[in-house]
Structure 1
Amino acid sequence: MTSAPAVLHPLALPAPQEARTWLLQRCEDSLADATTTVTELKALDHPSAAQVVDAWNEIQIALGNASAAASVHSEVHPDAAVREAGDDAMRRIDAFSTDLGLDRELSDIVSAVSEEGLDYDAARLLARILRDFHRSGVDRDDATRARLKELAELELAASQEFSRNIRDGVRTIRVRPEDLAGMPDDWLGDHPADDQGLVTVTTDYPDSVPLMTFCSRRATREAMTLERLNVAWPVNDEVLLRLIALRQERATLLGYPTWADFDAEVKMIKTGTAIRELVDKIAAAAQERALRDKGVVLRRLQDDVPEATDITSVDLAYYGELVRKETYDVDAQLVRTYFDFATVRQGLLDVTGRLFGLSWVAVPDATVWHPDVTAYDVERDGERIGRIYLDLHPREGKFKHAAQFDLVSGVSGRQLPEGVLVCNFTRGLMEHDEVVTLFHEFGHLIHHVVGGDQRYARFSGVATEWDFVEAPSQMLEEWAWDGAVLASFAKNAAGEPIPAALVERMKKGEDFGKGYRARTQMFYAGLSHALYTAPQTDVTATLREQQERYSVFPYIPDTHFHCAFGHLDGYSSGYYTYMWSLVIAKDMFSAFDPADLFNPQVAGRYRDTVLAPGGSRDAADLVADFLGRPYSFDSYADWLAR
């Protein structure tokens, strides 16, 4: 792979106004390049299939680069005006893409060519282009196409509004220091009382997750729960209803019964009905284990509160932690002393570098958008194959969850892949769950880079079916649970590695509760499916119905979790994909020897057969190539049962 030409990323510019100007110009230039390519293609007299797919690749490279830069800007740039410029650029790019998909002249040109003579990748791309034209509604009448264009614009605006309200919707509680009994000393040190003698705690993860886990004062946990479950409420209630209605109208105009059916068509699962079948299957498999483990936590709560008849999220994390501490001898406050953020970050790089045969070379002079951001060039066998950016701490106006964003999609001989990891971790001692999350999200980044040597941008990196993209990242979580792997970087202040016996107890403690966690995930999946399969007037009512159907924990009155559940936008009806991917991840992991997780033959084969092809082949075929057989439900079922 050749090196990409030097590109000044807009995020690198020191002045916000310069970044804003750069981004808008990048958008203009990319749209101009794409427009020129479209015009040139239309001017050709009976273009060949090869000319069509090559032209389409040029268009996707131009639009993809601009869209990726705009998306990252809108989610992470510290200046609000630059974030708004990112949203503006996305609207223009999306409008252009919508027009492209509804361009009948262009569709007729593509439809007129034959795949005869094309190689596999080119024929696959041609088939995808034709499918996209059909799904965009290019074959509908003029009035319908006009409405589809309007719907696309309205949907993007609603999506951006939904995300922005979550980013800007951070809530707080203010409590007395004594109301934080049980909190770790380092956390308390980072949360001093103000001149009024009160401590401010936000709903951001580094604040709220430890509080819900360790604070022994129920009133404090309850106050935080109410704030966490009402982020972006009530504003996002209306936005979500609008988004759902827009998507359903689009699906109806395109001839699909529901949005879920439209969305599932291009995924591994294929139909909206199959989503509910999967949710019910997982829920049934987890039922016995879920109720058994819930009973253990409830009985521990009743030791302190004898009159308790059920347990909610106010108490679940805290009493679940007590069960793990008292039953499995896992003290999370002790565990976290082995996971200093800086050490974990370096350990992650060391582990993944060894596993996948990669080198992460720090780029200290890289231009970045915030001092917290670090950049690394990615090398394989001494050759640079991409670059990654790590933006791992919370700040005002930044994306509030954890995700990998593309910055550049790799195209062979044209440009190297670049990706951004966006998380919200503490700067000090991490919870082990956060370490697992970091491994998970880094798995996406590896997939983006390793799969980035593709001839066509359409197949670059994490470009498989959407319900497979979580499988490689979920499988990488397994390395964050291995005693030998953790001992290589998890050390306490005295430099002592985390004991193997402690890790084994942690694993047993983690196994506790996996049944009710699976049921909770099915509640989320059921909610996302229900919202996009039936007309909605009261999302909170649908939330309550789905929670009663799938979760083993009751709804907390006057809460509106859906308003900050960003996946209801991005994944829409497809939140099931996390569990679908986990089934595949458990099966793929069965190919590794637990006694030798770094076996170079297995790891290399996985890298080359599953990650490196990107989206150039169907996900089921990639997994079958790696396992030597089709994937199955068996490994997941065995894991859930034990």
Structure 2
Amino acid sequence: MENPLLKPFDTPFDSVPFHRIKPEHFKPAILHLIEAAKKEIDAIVHQPAAADFANTIAALEHAGKQLNIASATFFNLDAAETNDEIQQLAQELSPLLAEYSNDIMLNEALFQRVKQVHDEADESALSAEEVRLLDKTYKGFVRNGALLSAEDKEQLRDIDKQLATLTTKFAQNVLQETNAYQLQLTDQGQLAGLPDSVVAAARAEAEKRQLDGWVFTLHFPSFVPFMKYAANRELRRELYMASTTRALKPNEYNNEGIIREIVKLRERRAKLLGFGTHADFVLQERMAASPAIVASFLDDLLRKAKPYATGEIAKLQALAEKDGIAPLMPYDHAYYAEKLREATFRLSDETLKPYFPLPQVLEAAFDAASRLYGLVFELRTDIPTYHPEVTVYEVLENGEHKALLYTDWHPREGKRAGAWMTAFRGQWKEDGRQVRPHISIVCNFSRPTGDTPSLLTFNEVTTLFHEFGHALHGMLADTVFESLSGTNVYWDFVELPSQFMENYCYEKEFLQSFAHHYQTGEPLPDEEIDKIVAAANFMEGYQTMRQLGFGLLDMAYHTGRLKGDLPIEQFEKETIKETLLYPDVPGTAQSPSFSHIFAGGYSAGYYSYKWAEVLDADAFAYFRETGIFNADTAAKFKALLASGGTVDPMELYIRFRGRKPEPDALLKRAGLL
């Protein structure tokens, strides 16, 4: 069988030839490429010349490039366009790739060469980036078991294979539970409060499923507006329960046992490597260098934000009491928050949506990138995609090719929930040649219906800008080595570029440039823009408490606090009780669907969203001082983005800002001071 993953990609910019790839190609290709990469490693190990930077560190950096692209392609499909066959393959391939990674990291002869370069290299003869890569490579080996005994190395291999399988299974269970649920309504009276656009989308969903009436799901574009607008409290409760019991029910998709195993294995792994906890292991390579620093950061925010949050909930309770509702429950929050927002600011998402059609918002993001960094985005119809809904743009700078950007906007059965940026290929330089990145943004925005384009809520507008900020980090990458390129930075620094871009959504002049009614072309009235700006901090206390709850829960799991057979629900609620603003709803928990920490890269790192908010608030304050599109300030920030992980993040930030970030910048912006 001819395998397109094993041949040169005869496509524009060597883009992935999705039109030729079938699921059955992945396993043989990845197995073959693992063997090919092992031969490259053997060549480094058996290199007759003494170990030096070029023949060991740089050679290791360039090994397995084709395998990286094939596996990135596979796992991106598993996230955005999966099916039963791909999910089964993920279960098979994840442990094999973990084993391959360990074959490198636990290769004693290879490590001895790396150690020799690390111990003996004349760093003055190396570039700053080469010194950074040398340090990262050596630490990578040590942090992945190179100094362990033979017996402990075998234990580590076994742990990593188990973790690869369990984290994959966790994500698959969440997707299965999300897809399995539907709320079918056949009585029009049950739709009270729901805007016409939400009803139309639910009708289209019912038709797609060949059902009568209207269907609502747990996918973001269906779930969120239902919780926000549905007047029927019992139905809101039903949808809330469905969401907060995903992978918690007593069925084959229950994730409680998987959570225990993942937590236990991560702790065992950390202890094997000489760390007290998984959080100690993770935070050694973060700006927040220890669990104590993270705890202090979260506790400080909690202390300052809680009075504001409780005040916000009191206002909602007063509003709900007019409807005879007391106490207010979690499934009432979005509904009464929207009512209060409309009453306070006369601002309604449904009123705003016609001014934010998806194509216009995307063009605005492109415009911001053009004004800040000189980038141009040109639609390409000759580049293969993995689904007809995916669109590809060529990114140009001064007429030169800079990157490819894939965009995938709408929910499908084979796509996991949420929004993310990823890459099919990173950026690096080799033999004087620039290899440019292929970046992808994946979201779950409402579909177009009939003649109506996809209309975004303002929250979705900020989501698009957030992911586009990550994409810019990838697209502007300009380093020699891929492992130091783009988003390959400390995890608590990676959210700076994304959260930075969200700030533009609240800038009046910028909003005026693109918020135009999709039918009439009329600009969004100035008074509405003023309301958006005024409402920027609405429910900020509540949102901060929610984020802090997730951060505290993550740290509790990864600092050894889950003991014995304490039920996951009980552990969760005891851990985050200081952040909870509503009465408990028995039988619910977020942990079994907390994919960020159990299936993504955020374990012992969820705090980084708030940590990076301090950086982005301080960074944007600088733009405000100099002008939000000031060329000199933008050039400095572009240099920060282009540098990736080649420089310590704090040093990189100081180069941009001229000083360290001010911790109170976030609290000032959020109105919590």
Normalised by the shorter chain, which TM-score bucket? over 0.9
Following superposition, the deviation at residue 11 of structure 1 comes to 6.1
Match of 1:36 in 2: 39
Match of 1:177 in 2: 188
Task: Identify which of 218, 224, 237 aligns with 2:256.
Answer: 237
Whether the 8 Å contact between 2:439 and 2:474 is mirrored in structure 1 is yes
Is 1:166 the equivalent of 2:170?
Answer: no
Following superposition, the deviation at residue 600 of structure 1 comes to 1.9
Quick one: distance in 2 between partners of 1:424 and 1:87?
25
Q: Which runs of 5+ in 1 are unaligned?
A: none
Match of 2:235 in 1: 220
Is 1:432 the equivalent of 2:449?
Answer: no
User: Helix, strand or coil for the counterpart of 1:320?
Assistant: helix
User: Helix, strand or coil for the counterpart of 2:322?
Assistant: helix
User: Helix, strand or coil for the counterpart of 1:612?
Assistant: helix
Following superposition, the deviation at residue 33 of structure 1 comes to 3.5
Structure 1: which amino acid aligns with 2:260?
A: L
Whether the 8 Å contact between 1:115 and 1:126 is mirrored in structure 2 is no
1:411-430 to 2 correspondences below 5 Å: 411-412=428-429, 413-427=433-447, 428-430=454-456
User: Helix, strand or coil for the counterpart of 2:22?
Assistant: helix
Quickly say closer, same or farther: Cα 1:7–1:69, change in 2 above 3 A: farther
Match of 2:57 in 1: 53
Quick one: distance in 1 between partners of 2:353 and 2:34?
49
Structure 2: which amino acid aligns with 1:248?
A: E
Is 1:387 the equivalent of 2:413?
Answer: no
Is 1:24 the equivalent of 2:27?
Answer: yes
Match of 2:78 in 1: 74
Match of 2:535 in 1: 509
User: For each residue in 1:597-641, what CA deviation from the matched residue of structure 2 results, as whole angstroms up to 9, or x when unmatched?
Assistant: 222222222112x10101111111111111001112021122232
Following superposition, the deviation at residue 263 of structure 1 comes to 1.0
1:105-254 to 2 correspondences below 5 Å: 105-113=109-117, 114-116=120-122, 117-170=125-178, 171-175=181-185, 176-192=187-203, 197-234=212-249, 235-254=254-273
Q: TM-score, normalised by structure 2?
A: 0.90
User: For each residue in 1:132-190, what CA deviation from the matched residue of structure 2 results, as whole angstroms up to 9, or x when unmatched?
Assistant: 11111121111111010000000010010011112222222222332121111122122
Match of 1:521 in 2: 547
Whether the 8 Å contact between 2:552 and 2:575 is mirrored in structure 1 is yes
Q: TM-score, normalised by structure 1?
A: 0.94
Quick one: distance in 2 between partners of 1:236 and 1:79?
20
Count of aligned pairs between the two proteins: 633
Whether the 8 Å contact between 1:34 and 1:58 is mirrored in structure 2 is no
Following superposition, the deviation at residue 62 of structure 1 comes to 4.2
Is 1:261 the equivalent of 2:265?
Answer: no
Match of 2:306 in 1: 287
Whether the 8 Å contact between 1:341 and 1:426 is mirrored in structure 2 is no
User: Helix, strand or coil for the counterpart of 2:189?
Assistant: helix
Task: Identify which of 516, 521, 535 aligns with 2:562.
Answer: 535
User: Helix, strand or coil for the counterpart of 2:350?
Assistant: helix
Whether the 8 Å contact between 1:61 and 1:457 is mirrored in structure 2 is no
Quickly say closer, same or farther: Cα 1:292–1:431, change in 2 above 3 A: same
Q: Give aligned-pair identity as a percent.
A: 26
Quick one: distance in 2 between partners of 1:560 and 1:419?
34
Quick one: distance in 1 between partners of 2:195 and 2:220?
15
Quickly say closer, same or farther: Cα 1:518–1:322, change in 2 above 3 A: same
Following superposition, the deviation at residue 475 of structure 1 comes to 0.9
Structure 1: which amino acid aligns with 2:664?
A: D
User: Helix, strand or coil for the counterpart of 2:65?
Assistant: helix
Structure 2: which amino acid aligns with 1:164?
A: Q
Match of 1:454 in 2: 479
Following superposition, the deviation at residue 280 of structure 1 comes to 0.4
Is 1:102 the equivalent of 2:106?
Answer: yes
Q: Which runs of 5+ in 2 are unaligned?
A: 1-8, 448-453
Is 1:607 the equivalent of 2:611?
Answer: no
Quick one: distance in 2 between partners of 1:531 and 1:47?
41
Following superposition, the deviation at residue 326 of structure 1 comes to 0.7
1:466-485 to 2 correspondences below 5 Å: 466-485=491-510
User: For each residue in 1:463-519, what CA deviation from the matched residue of structure 2 results, as whole angstroms up to 9, or x when unmatched?
Assistant: 110111011100100111222222222222211111222122123223121012111
Match of 1:312 in 2: 329
Match of 2:580 in 1: 551
Which stretch of structure 1 is more off in the superposition, 585-594 or 402-411? Answer: 585-594
User: Helix, strand or coil for the counterpart of 1:395?
Assistant: coil
Is 1:93 the equivalent of 2:127?
Answer: no
Whether the 8 Å contact between 1:10 and 1:23 is mirrored in structure 2 is no
Whether the 8 Å contact between 1:5 and 1:415 is mirrored in structure 2 is no
User: For each residue in 1:199-230, what CA deviation from the matched residue of structure 2 results, as whole angstroms up to 9, or x when unmatched?
Assistant: 22100001010111111111111111111112
Is 1:359 the equivalent of 2:369?
Answer: no
